[in-house]
A = this chain, B = another copy of it.
């Protein structure tokens, strides 16, 4: 049995709580949340309102905003167990060195939607071999994809995720804005968006690339730049087009 305490009950904290709660040989001893009142009716969750009331656990998971990790870890009284954060973008050393520290980074974007934890890569880091073993054992209760990844590599991985998630989502928003200017509904693009994402299970993005930039089709590019005249997205179109051409060794 591995015991877990969770600090923070936002999307990451909640999903971890739920996943651990249904895992075998694993027990969430308590959750700390500043918004205790919001959760007081959910009696099955052992919520504590003060950090120094958090019971001991083999692993204490700090699931708060990146820029609050250092402060929370400093406020947290010394503990017998490991203290880890869940951030892709934050070095292990952001946790105060009064703790045996580690990282437990599930590579997924958590919202209120359910997730399939078994498929989510969990990227671990610890300073001691024994501590790593504990984290690996805990992570394997949630996911089949557990990796040992240091802080430097994790920052690069997180950056790649920014392109594949934040930036991709922004392009969806650009599409939505172009459509709504023409009284068209965003749902028109859903099968296309879905196919573009799913295709990657069968081919690499490099193989999947299509469009005017990779064909060197300057006529289409010119026409589309013209359609974007006066919008904020013309220079974005230009830059993405140049980046595609450059990546595929085309000259435009």
Instruction: Name A's B-contacting residues (CB within 8 A).
Output: 66-67, 89, 107-109, 111, 113, 115-116, 119-121, 145, 147, 149, 153, 155-157, 159-179, 181-182, 184, 186, 188-206, 208-213, 217, 219-220, 223-224, 227-228, 232-233, 235-237, 239-240, 243-244, 246-247
Closest to A228 in B: B159
Copies of this chain held together in the complex: 2
Q: Quick check: B173 and A113 within 8 Å, CB to CB?
A: no
Bound Cα distance A175, B247 (Å): 12
Q: Quick check: A191 and B156 within 8 Å, CB to CB?
A: no
Bound Cα distance A34, B166 (Å): 43
Q: Quick check: A191 and B236 within 8 Å, CB to CB?
A: no
The CB with the most chain B CB atoms within 10 A, among A164, A204, A224, is that of: A164
Question: Given A121-B191, A176-B205, do A243 and B233 touch, yes or no (CB 8 Å)?
Answer: yes
Q: Quick check: B246 and A202 within 8 Å, CB to CB?
A: no
Q: Which 10 residue pairs of A and B lie closest in terms of their CB atoms, listed nearest first?
A: A166-B211, A197-B197, A172-B205, A173-B205, A160-B175, A160-B178, A164-B175, A163-B175, A156-B182, A167-B240
Q: Quick check: A176 and B204 within 8 Å, CB to CB?
A: yes
- Complex interface: chain B residues within 8 A of A149 (CB): 184
The CB with the most chain B CB atoms within 10 A, among A145, A149, A178, is that of: A178
Bound Cα distance A191, B193 (Å): 15
